[in-house]
């Protein structure tokens, strides 16, 4: 009984068992059929050791039923019964021979989780043996109990049918055994076991989610599972697994007892502790393995809360949790791991035996398992990722082992399986998995080139053929795509293919493999013939005409969808062609860098240069177009990869090299020197039309300039280039010629940029944004204005006559670039400085007009300011205190009379309580004010500060594009006529900016006191 309780702990508390509640909840979700399957053992168990439970009752039922229906089939004869019993014994002994044979087969086979049981179940031997033994027992009983007088026809019929059943079943077993021997389905059973393990893992994950949800719903508010806690509060472990003797797998949890333990903890906080500051954390999940030191119950505390947990809590918690030595459920992990190990061992054995067909068969199991995983409910889970990663690693290790043998058939088998996996994932739209297994090609190449042998070149060639075949299939899929989404899906995989090509380029340079470099160089050229919409039927132009001529809306929509796909194909094909040119340029430059540093043999670089580089980069215009386009917007090529010497197979660990753009520019300049002929430029003055650089469509900002790089070019390296001698002479002349062309190009680009700015129209949105920003910051910076508004001394009015009131502000020529649509470069406008100067000028003018109505006071030091202000406030009726510069403002804020919590408006920084029986004076900070302190007092007649503007904004801002008429208007005829062409061109690149602020002051009485600090 004890053993039964240990195996099924829920029998002690069925109504509060977490395990039972989980089972019942799954039954509600899945139905009764699922519960029946869950409670019964697996099918193979019912065909092996548990088969006696059904075969014996079924045999009795069939035999007695037939005897009853067909009676009398035989006459009652004791002699027949004796003969039948003897034959039964003989046949039964033969059945044991079959069992011994099967057991011997199992013994001689490598053990695999569940596979041997599948093999025995497929033979159907155990049910037949149980049936034979049972029928033998029935016949023995009849032989010893019956006599000639008591033997009946019915008994003889039953014995006869039992005997016939024995013969038939044993014959069926012989058939099954022969079939198993001839077809050997153990590998198929192995794959089925892995799939069952995956299904069991899915079932385990579903059970675990439900088992975790039940405590979430059951536990009180102050308790939760530790896996749900993301708190950064102070955590204290109350009990660990070894302290309460809960070592092992959590087989079940008594929820009622668990809640009792929590209630005892809740009642134990120290006096004055808020219960809401305590959160209990349970670190127990069904099936979880608890080891010594692992916390079972913890507590999160906040705000200095403390808790003293009674010893009884641990005892109750130990009673609530039942642990077992083994996992309470079959998670399927052992099935998966052991059978995957068997496949891996079988692959290695096939490699050792040079058995390519066996290797292919076992690698196909990997392929089928990958297919099963990606279509199972765990496809996006960590379990799926773990299985896929494991198979991915095994592919690499298997290839490494096959490469060591140098056997072409083995290597081609692995490469073919990788090809089929990549193609399958592409067709299924599994982009991540496609990229993962496509990346194996790079590692395969590195492994192959690390081998020594006569067949290495052939193996690498086969590797490149496989890559090319994959490219052909991807290109064909691109050609068949009918919608934009389909085009983009295929294009994403083609981009990954180019990344593999890039890696092979990089490694071929590192390895000095000129043959592979040259083959890859030509691999990406003219590759989109099958997908080019201009070559398809109908082509893109015919399809566009069909769209225009279509009458029915539905037909037009279908044709338009197809046309959109064609346009997208044309775009991505153009992108891939450009990016492959970028890739070629970078690979050539990287090879040159390795050649320059002595890392690449001269003969290898000569082969690369003669067969590939010199045949593609044949003109300065094309060379410059590729280089400048690459600098501006590389979309596929990863420049970061080319700044690393190598990367780990799985970790992408990189070692730094010089910045990519440095050696790209140097290579560009070297090629330009080779392509330039000083004899083609006899004179000193080069016409712009003769400069090949001027044909480039590049902006001033994007053009890199080559002066510094030309200074660093090494003539010795140039002379080592594998070209004809006539191309290597006149190094200095070639360099100076390129320098002149570059200087001229920079001057032309400067002029183009100036022309662009001159011709560009002002962007109304940018002009308005500047005005809004200026006005907003002006108002925020002008604190004195806000103080006067709070005192109701400030008014606003329209400006009727601008000339009647002198403005504060400025009129100036300002760069036009920030206000045009295509700005290209950021321009720092220094708004803060300009506005601060403007506000300072306005305040100075205001105070100059207010001076007659302000009393002047002087204090000896900054520390004396608060006391003097308090004395002056006592004799006046203060309404506001304006603090100017930093030190007097700091003295006010540090005084005891200052109240930082006082808020009169959103702009004041506090209040000044100069005496207890008087109102607090609001304090404002105005850093732009020259007086140290301005104390405003209540006048007899309220003053008026009137702000006047032509618009609703307090500041009038006008920004006008400059033309010749505006120059003449602003400067006058005489000054305008004196301007040079360069001066006029400079002004045309500017705008005329007018920022004006107008204010009138009307004061008749004293309004306050100016307090200054004596200079020390």
Q: Is 520 helix (H, G, I), strand (E, B) or coil?
A: helix
> What global pTM score does this model have?
0.69
Residue among 821, 718, 802, 855 at smallest CA distance from 994: 802
Q: 271 with 202: CB under 8 angstroms?
A: no
Continuous segment of H or E residues that includes residue 811: strand 808-815
Q: 626 with 577: CB under 8 angstroms?
A: no
pLDDT of residue 747: 92
Which positions ≥6 away from 252 have C-beta within 8 Å? 9, 10, 17, 18, 19, 286, 322, 328
Report how far residue 844's alpha carbon sits from residue 835's, in angstroms, rounded to the nearest whole number.
Answer: 14
Q: How far is CA 787 from CA 102, 414, 448, 779, 872, in A?
A: 102, 82, 81, 12, 20
Q: What is the mean pLDDT of the chain?
A: 80
Report how far residue 195's alpha carbon sits from residue 189's, in angstroms, rounded to the nearest whole number.
Answer: 10
Q: Kindly list the averaged pLDDT for each block of 10 residues, start to end, along the chain of length 1016.
A: 54 73 77 68 66 74 71 59 67 67 58 58 73 73 62 70 75 71 65 74 77 78 71 69 81 81 66 62 80 81 63 80 78 76 84 87 84 73 78 87 85 88 87 88 85 75 87 87 88 89 89 90 72 71 75 78 84 87 90 90 91 84 87 63 52 46 87 87 82 86 87 86 79 89 91 90 91 90 88 88 83 90 74 87 89 88 86 85 86 87 80 85 85 86 89 89 91 89 91 91 89 76
Q: Is 656 helix (H, G, I), strand (E, B) or coil?
A: strand
Peptide bond into 317 cis (omega under 30): no
Residue among 814, 772, 781, 825 at smallest CA distance from 962: 814
Q: What is the DSSP letter of 112?
A: -
Q: Is 454 helix (H, G, I), strand (E, B) or coil?
A: coil
Burial string for 732-746 (b: 16+ CB within 10 Å, else e) reads eebbebbeebbebbb
pLDDT of residue 116: 63
Q: Which residue has tokens 């989404």?
A: 485
What is the DSSP track for 908-953? --EEE--STTSPPEEEEE-TT-SSSEEEEE--SS--EEEEEESSSS
Cα dihedral 359, 365, 367, 370, rounded to 10, equals -140
Q: Which residue has tokens 């400079």?
A: 986
Q: Is 958 helix (H, G, I), strand (E, B) or coil?
A: strand
Question: Nearest 5°: CA angle at 771, between 766 and 773?
Answer: 90
Q: Answer positive or negative: Cα dihedral of 121, 125, 129, 135.
A: positive
Question: Nearest 5°: CA angle at 80, between 74 and 85?
Answer: 120
pLDDT of residue 478: 87
Residue among 518, 664, 511, 514 at smallest CA distance from 589: 664
Kindly report each contact of residues 824-827 with a partner whose C-beta sits within 8 Å and lies 24 or more positions away, as own/partner.
824/699, 824/701, 825/701
Q: Which residue has tokens 């089972």?
A: 23
Q: What is the DSSP letter of 760?
A: P
Peptide bond into 915 cis (omega under 30): no
Question: Nearest 5°: CA angle at 935, between 930 and 936?
Answer: 110
Q: 124 with 175: CB under 8 angstroms?
A: no
For residue 710, how many other CB atoms are within 10 A of its CB?
A: 19
pLDDT of residue 380: 64
What is the tens place of the pLDDT at every residue in 236-289? 777 888 878 888 878 888 888 888 877 776 665 555 455 566 777 888 888 778
For residue 256, how many other CB atoms are within 10 A of its CB?
A: 13
Q: What is the tally of helices (H) and strands (E) in the chain?
A: 37, 19
Residue among 806, 815, 835 at smallest CA distance from 962: 815
Question: What is the Rg, in whole angstroms, of the alpha carbon atoms belonging to the chain?
Answer: 46
What is the tens place of the pLDDT at every residue in 813-847? 999 988 998 877 776 677 888 888 899 889 888 88
Q: Is 703 helix (H, G, I), strand (E, B) or coil?
A: coil
Length of the chain: 1016
């Amino acid at each position: 009984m004890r053993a039964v309780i240990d195996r099924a702990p829920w029998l002690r508390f069925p109504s509060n068992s977490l395990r039972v509640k989980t089972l019942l909840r799954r039954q509600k979700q899945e139905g009764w059929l699922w519960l029946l399957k869950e409670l019964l053992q697996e099918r193979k168990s019912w065909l092996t050791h548990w088969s006696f439970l059904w075969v014996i009752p079924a045999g009795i039922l069939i035999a007695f039923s037939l005897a009853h229906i067909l009676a009398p089939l035989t006459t009652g004869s004791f002699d027949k019964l004796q003969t039948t019993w003897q034959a039964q014994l003989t046949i039964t002994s033969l059945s044991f021979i079959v069992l011994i044979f099967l057991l011997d087969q199992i013994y001689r086979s490598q053990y695999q989780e569940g596979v041997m049981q599948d093999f025995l179940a497929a033979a159907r031997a155990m049910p037949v043996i149980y049936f034979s033994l049972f029928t033998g027992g029935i016949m023995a009983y009849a032989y010893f109990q019956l006599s000639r007088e008591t033997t009946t026809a019915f008994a003889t019929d039953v014995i006869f049918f039992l005997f016939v059943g024995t013969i038939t079943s044993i014959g069926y077993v012989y058939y099954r055994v022969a079939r198993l021997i001839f077809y050997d389905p153990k590998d198929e059973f192995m794959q089925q076991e892995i799939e069952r393990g995956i299904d069991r893992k899915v079932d385990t994950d579903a059970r675990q989610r439900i088992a975790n949800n039940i405590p979430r719903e059951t536990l009180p508010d102050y308790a939760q599972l530790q896996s749900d806690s993301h708190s950064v509060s102070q955590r204290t472990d109350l009990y660990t697994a070894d302290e309460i003797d809960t070592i092992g797998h959590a087989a079940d949890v008594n929820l009622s007892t668990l809640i009792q333990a929590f209630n005892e903890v809740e009642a134990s906080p120290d006096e004055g502790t808020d219960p809401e500051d305590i959160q209990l954390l349970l670190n127990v999940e069904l099936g979880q393995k608890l080891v010594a030191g692992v916390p079972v119950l913890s507590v999160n505390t906040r705000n200095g809360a403390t808790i003293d947990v009674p010893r009884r809590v641990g005892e109750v918690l130990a009673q609530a949790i039942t642990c077992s030595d083994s996992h309470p459920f079959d998670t399927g992990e052992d099935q998966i791991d052991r059978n995957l190990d068997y496949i891996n061992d079988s692959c290695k054995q096939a490699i050792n035996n040079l058995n390519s067909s066996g290797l292919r068969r076992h690698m196909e199991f990997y392929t089928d398992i990958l297919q099963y995983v990606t279509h199972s409910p765990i496809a996006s889970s960590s379990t799926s990722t773990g299985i896929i990663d494991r198979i991915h690693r095994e592919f690499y290790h298997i290839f490494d082992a096959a490469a060591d043998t140098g056997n072409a058939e083995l290597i081609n088998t692995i490469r073919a399986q990788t090809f089929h996996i990549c193609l399958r994932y592409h067709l299924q739209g599994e982009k991540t998995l496609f990229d993962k297994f496509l990346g194996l090609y790079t590692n395969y190449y590195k492994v192959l080139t690390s081998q020594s042998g006569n067949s290495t070149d052939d193996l690498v060639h086969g590797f490149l053929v496989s890559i090319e075949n994959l490219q052909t299939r991807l290109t064909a899929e691109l050609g068949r795509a009918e919608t934009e989404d389909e085009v983009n899906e295929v294009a994403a995989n083609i981009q990954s293919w180019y990344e593999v090509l890039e890696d092979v380029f990089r490694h071929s340079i590192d390895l000095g493999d000129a043959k592979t470099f040259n083959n890859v160089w030509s691999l990406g050229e003219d590759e989109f013939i099958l997908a080019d919409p201009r070559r398809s039927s109908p082509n893109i132009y015919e399809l566009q005409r069909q769209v225009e001529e279509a009458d029915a809306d539905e037909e037009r929509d279908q044709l338009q969808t197809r046309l959109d796909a064609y346009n997208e194909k044309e775009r991505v094909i153009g992108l891939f062609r450009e990016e492959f040119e970028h890739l070629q340029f970078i690979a050539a430059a990287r090879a040159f860098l390795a050649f320059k540093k002595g890392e690449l043999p001269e003969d290898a670089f000569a082969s690369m240069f003669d067969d590939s580089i010199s045949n593609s980069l044949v003109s300065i215009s094309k060379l410059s177009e590729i280089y400048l386009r690459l600098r501006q917007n590389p979309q596929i090529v990863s420049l970061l990869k080319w700044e690393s010497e190598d990367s780990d197979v799985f970790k992408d660990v990189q070692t730094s090299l010089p910045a990519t753009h440095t050696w790209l520019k140097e290579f560009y300049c070297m090629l330009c020197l080779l392509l330039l002929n000083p004899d083609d430029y006899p004179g000193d003055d080069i016409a712009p039309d003769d400069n090949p650089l001027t044909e480039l469509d590049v902006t001033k900002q994007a053009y890199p300039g080559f002066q510094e790089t030309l200074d660093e070019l090494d003539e010795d390296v140039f002379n080592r280039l594998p070209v004809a001698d006539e191309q290597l002479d006149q190094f200095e002349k070639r360099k100076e010629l390129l320098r002149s062309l570059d200087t001229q190009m920079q001057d032309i680009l400067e002029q183009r940029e100036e022309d662009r700015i001159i011709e560009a129209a002002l962007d109304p949105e940018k002009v308005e944004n500047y005005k809004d920003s200026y006005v907003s910051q002006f108002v925020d910076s002008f604190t004195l204005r806000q103080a006067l508004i709070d005192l109701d001394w400030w008014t606003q009015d329209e400006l009727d006559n601008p000339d009647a009131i002198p403005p504060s502000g400025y009129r100036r020529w300002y760069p036009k670039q920030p206000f045009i649509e295509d700005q290209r470069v950021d321009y720092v406008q220094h708004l803060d400085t300009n506005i601060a100067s403007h506000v300072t000028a306005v305040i100075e003018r205001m105070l100059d007009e207010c001076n007659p109505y302000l009393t002047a006071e002087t204090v000896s030091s900054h520390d004396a300011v608060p006391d003097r202000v308090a004395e002056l406030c006592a004799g006046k009726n203060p309404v506001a205190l304006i603090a100017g510069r930093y030190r007097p403002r700091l003295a006010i804020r540090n005084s005891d009379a200052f109240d930082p919590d006082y808020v009169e408006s959103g702009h004041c920084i506090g209040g000044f309580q100069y005496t207890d029986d008087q109102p607090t004076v609001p304090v404002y900070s105005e850093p732009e004010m020259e007086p140290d302190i301005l104390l405003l007092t209540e006048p007899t007649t309220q003053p008026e500060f009137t702000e006047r503007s032509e618009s609703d904004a307090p500041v009038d801002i006008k920004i006008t594009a400059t033309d010749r008429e505006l120059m003449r208007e602003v400067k006058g005829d005489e000054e305008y006529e004196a301007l040079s062409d360069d001066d006029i061109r400079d002004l045309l690149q500017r705008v005329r900016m007018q920022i004006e602020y107008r204010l009138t002051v009307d004061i008749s009485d004293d309004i306050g006191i100016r307090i200054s600090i004596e200079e020390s």
